[in-house]
Structure 1
């Protein structure tokens, strides 16, 4: 299950000194001294670990699924400049880890002669930049394995649209053309790249371009061994991660491997109430959403018992499993996520409710709920709300909620207040701004 860590002995030679810019950490070795790049590719996979916990916290605690108890962590629900005080714990490790992944990917892309290695590296580079753009907006772009350490002009942040069009989309297009559809040992696959490209277009609001890529995953899933698990509970937990048919791509976690926090990734720790900053992390609004699902769904939403503790105060989707040393993988993409995005793309491009709503049937029946009736949910707005409600409950505590609200322009409606759009993004780590003497600039409002 954790095969991408086989070469960690070489992989962990990568370190970053305090004085180095996070975009340009030292790599395993200079490219001219390497003839095999499997270890460098594994480094690109490994560094995704450092993004898991920040993505979990930013995606859930910034939104209406989870909340913090202790100041200043309550700033996640206060839309002002206060998040800069937590950059060392969240935004900083996230930023550092992803630029390390990018640099390792660049090395493979430039120097490997193995087409599959290059395609996997392009997938990981695209995934890294997608996460960075979602969180920070405009970002520094480095596509070189040996970037200049003296020309700081290359650190100027590039518009998010350019990063999408010039880096993320081309990388994923190239990856799709080479990668195999079969999912092997947690590595990138054709459908992982195609699904991610669909997600990218959804984030851009380009629904007509998203739909065919999402459709390719949904329609090709069965032949590739991808399917919805019959029992929702069987998606989650370390014991369910081996050959899990629903998971298209995950960042693999091992209790023996440290990440940017200097210990094994424990994103789940924030949800189960193990940290005093969030003893009771579940937002009552999420409990109310499950109540509404029960009332309107013709039964008891079975996802509640998998997602929330019985008292509704903590989240148990990723069980504690004995505490420190959890083996929970971070699910980056699973089939239900792609199906719901495909339904959304069809709805936004004018498909009838009778075409869109049946896509949700298997997800809802698995949850113990009745299927939705297109005779009553019969407008684009009603279908849009039905899909959004489904995504919230299906994907709770998987890091999607805040980014869904931002991309669908529903932050104000769902948070019950007017939120300055500056705070749809997170602050650039101040250490990067200082290290570049202001070449890298801060997001507005911070």
Structure 2
């Protein structure tokens, strides 16, 4: 898939199909009305949709990890506009014109468009009133098996994007087919209920369309593509987010028992560039170094600021800085093998700075790393299943599987109630999945699925823990701790709808999220 993506970039240049306008077809002598007329051309379009997952991911950590208790903006005293934008997200003060938010929004809808074009050419039609998908007749010579496989992959990609959007923004614009600029102006925000109806329909259909091949049977060109197990795992997470625990548990148990995926022997090997697409990776956003335009920027972005070539060629930007609280949590378990992969230290004494080494790989060019970004891991599935099942011996056993791989002993006997179980589960997910963009979404979900952990309380405690060493170091006017904590409300857990979407549509009154 990595090599195919580089070829598709050349196709994009020739076809004019990669511009950023989210509501227009790619325009050129060969546009979507004429190009996607063979199986190979549809495959190329789908490859472009896989490649299009990189762009939203480049800023996703800003809207998730940075807004959780895992990460903070690295340089509190900086007055640069880039750092101030990150600080505003970190402190729950983003403006409705925030650049990072708009970039994520734009790139996500751009790739939803890419997926919609593929689905349209494959004859996949969504009925919003019924919440169902159907196949219509098409003029492409393609077998039923290939047609459903390609459609299932595009549905997985679309559902992934919409699942992130609805959790970050609430109800957004539900666009399920390619539309013109004029048509876009007639579409207002849909409710979260309607968004989840589409997401569920996409993933339920994908689970029936996609290949059920077990991990050991996946070879060749199918490596890296979405399959039935990835779709079931993502749908399980969707159901858990909706507090439909029994349905989530059924799907997640199926993945655990029948997919052929499993934990790697060591935590570090999960992320090794010499061990990509290993048994723990159900789905990942792939990157390819080598000057192809497909490399990862995260090694340079997350390496310590002003570290020169000590950590990575081209130095680091010091972004996504681990919190002292998370570092202390790792240090409380000195045998935890996950610490070295997630948190490292550059410098000594008072000049020591924490950074994230998880996505480091040797680079010749800056921002051109090899490291993939995992979206769904087997360990994630194990812990989601424990959450869906609740406080049971089976759930304790699942958590202990993850702990054992990390070099830790089983949970102590003091984990003997719903409250202690929930705390142990949340802590395990925080450590296991650190800096993979899960923590903020987990906190949102815990508001519903757990009884003792509430996102607002966790984030206020985070500000208290980091205030003296970090937030009090900002230039004047410095927010007091109570003022900083007051920024975190149930409303502000959602991001603002980009103001440009509201201001540039004279046809509709588009509601902004409460609090902005």
Q: Same fold (TM over 0.5)?
A: yes
Measure, in 2, the Cα distance between the counterparts of 1:14 and 1:387.
48
After the TM superposition, which residues 43-62 of structure 1 pair with which residues of structure 2 at under 5 Å, given as runs? 43-62=48-67
In structure 1, the residue corresponding to 2:376 is in which secondary structure?
strand
| Alpha-carbon offset, residue 93 of structure 1 | 4.5
Aligned to 2:32: 30
Could you report, residue by residue, the CA deviation over 1:198-240 in whole angstroms, capped at 9, with x for unpaired residues? 1111222221221111111111132xxx111101100113222
SS at match of 1:345: helix
SS at match of 2:358: coil
Deviation at 1:280, TM superposition (A): 7.7
Contact 1:65–1:401 (CA under 8 A) maintained in structure 2 = yes
Contact 1:218-1:338 within 8 A present in 2 as well: yes
C-alpha displacement at 1:277, in angstroms? 6.4
Aligned to 1:423: 492
Output the CA distance in 2 between the equivalents of 1:383 and 1:433.
44
Superposition deviation, residue 171 in structure 1:
1.1
User: 1:422 and 1:108, CA in 2 relative to 1: closer, same or farther beyond 3 A?
Assistant: farther
Deviation string for 1:347-396 (max 9, x for gaps)? 0xxx52x22100122211111110114x4312122111111100000000
Q: Partners of 2:119 and 2:326 in 1: how far apart?
A: 41
Q: Match for residue 250 of structure 1?
A: 284
Which sits farther off after the overlay, 94-103 or 247-256?
94-103
Question: How far 1:321 sits from its partner (Å)?
Answer: 2.0
- Deviation at 1:96? 4.1
| Distance (whole Å) between structure 1 residues aligned to residue 419 and residue 181 of structure 2 | 51
CA distance in 1, matches of 2:510, 2:25: 16
Partner of 2:504: 435
Matches within 5 A, 1:6-405: 6-12=7-13, 13-15=15-17, 20=21, 22-26=22-26, 29-31=31-33, 33=35, 34-36=37-39, 37-68=42-73, 69=75, 70=78, 71-82=84-95, 84-87=97-100, 90-110=103-123, 113=142, 114-145=147-178, 147-152=179-184, 154-165=186-197, 167-182=198-213, 183=218, 184-222=222-260, 226-241=261-276, 243-255=277-289, 256-258=291-293, 264-274=295-305, 278=318, 281-292=321-332, 294=333, 300-310=335-345, 313-322=354-363, 323-347=366-390, 352=392, 354-373=393-412, 375-405=413-443
Taking the aligned partners of 1:100 and 1:148, their CA distance within structure 2 comes to 11
The structure number with the bigger radius of gyration is 2
Number of residue-to-residue matches in the alignment: 424
Instruction: Please give the alpha-carbon distance, in whole angstroms, between the structure 1 residues aligned to 2:47 and 2:320.
Output: 36
Contact 1:309 1:315 in 2 (8 A): yes
CA RMSD after TM alignment: 2.6
Q: Distance in 2 between matches of 1:377 and 1:316?
A: 32
For residues 194 and 162 of structure 1, what CA distance do their matches in structure 2 show? 20
Instruction: Give CA-to-partner distance per residue, 1:258-307, whole Å, 9 cap, x none.
Output: 47xxxx44234332235886468111111122133x1xxxx511110111
How big is the shift at 1:120?
A: 1.2
1:152–1:439 Cα contact (<8 Å) kept: no
The answer as to whether partners of 1:56 and 1:399 remain within 8 angstroms in 2 is yes
TM-score, reference length from structure 2: 0.76
- In structure 1, which of residues 401, 405, 412 is the aligned counterpart of residue 456 of structure 2? 412
Displaced runs of 4+ in structure 1, greater than 6 A?
Answer: none
Q: 1:122–1:171: 8 Å Cα contact kept in structure 2?
A: yes
Q: TM-score by structure 1 length?
A: 0.87
For the 8 Å contact 2:60–2:437, the answer to whether it is kept is: yes
Quick one: structure 1 residues 435 and 102, their matched pair in 2 at CA, closer, same or farther if it must change by over 3 Å? farther
8 Å CA contact 1:24–1:99 kept in 2: the answer is no
Q: Which has the higher contact order (CA 8 A, sep 6+)?
A: 1
1:157 to partner: Cα distance: 0.9
Change in CA separation of 1:253 and 1:108 when aligned onto 2, cut-off 3 Å: farther
Unaligned runs of 5+ in 1: none
Mapped contact 1:140–1:154 kept (Cα < 8 A): no
Conserved in 2, the CA contact under 8 Å of 1:155 and 1:439?
no
Q: 1:109 to 1:434 in 2, by over 3 A?
A: farther
Give the secondary-structure state (helix, strand or coil) at the position aligned to 2:95.
helix
Q: Distance in 2 between matches of 1:270 and 1:193?
A: 30
Relative to structure 1, is the Cα distance of residues 207 and 11 closer, same or farther in structure 2, using a 3 angstrom cutoff?
Answer: farther
- Counterpart of 1:333 in 2: which secondary structure? strand
Answer whether contact 1:11 1:40 (CA < 8 A) is retained.
Answer: no
Task: State the alpha-carbon separation in 2 of the partners of residues 268 and 137 from structure 1.
Answer: 31
Change (3 A) 1:318 1:277: closer
Note if contact 1:101-1:124 (Cα within 8 Å) is conserved in structure 2: no
Instruction: Report the more deviating stretch, 208-217 or 387-396.
Output: 208-217
